[in-house]
Amino acid sequence: MKKPDRPDRKKRPVYAYPFKIKLVEEIENGYLSLRYASIKYHVSRSTLDDWRERYGKHHRRMKDKNLSPEKKIKQQQQRIDDLELMLDLQREIIADYEIATGKELAKKSLPKPLADAVEKIKRDRQKSK
């Protein structure tokens, strides 16, 4: 005998695999905090923790073991290019902030090589004005 559906019982939502991967990557790359992602997408933090274990960096590393050396090198080079682009963007944002507000943020809170790079960007921008 089949049990009747209980109208008072909630059904668990089903999320697509690409959505899970995208969300985990955004959390791991620092674009979203766990708390903010939970609120924004209406997914519990424990569910997000489970997804991070299943689909996070460790899971991808296990899949990467089966890749050829050429593909691994290509992926790593792409990751390096992405990180360098993000670093350049962050330097420019900090330089723009310092120019707009007049506050010295880089010297106080960044390592010397990064602070020097921000100062160079600021000098270049001030020369071009």
DSSP string covering 55-113:
HSHHHHHHHHTTS-HHHHHHHHHHHHHHHHHHHHHHHHHHHHHHHHH----HHHHS-HH
Rg (CA), the chain: 22
Question: What is the token pair recorded at 73?
Answer: 């090198």
Quick: pLDDT tens for 94-112.
999 998 998 888 888 888 8
pTM of the predicted model as reported, rounded to 2 decimal places: 0.47
Quick: pLDDT tens for 55-107.
887 666 666 666 788 888 898 999 999 999 999 999 999 999 998 998 888 88
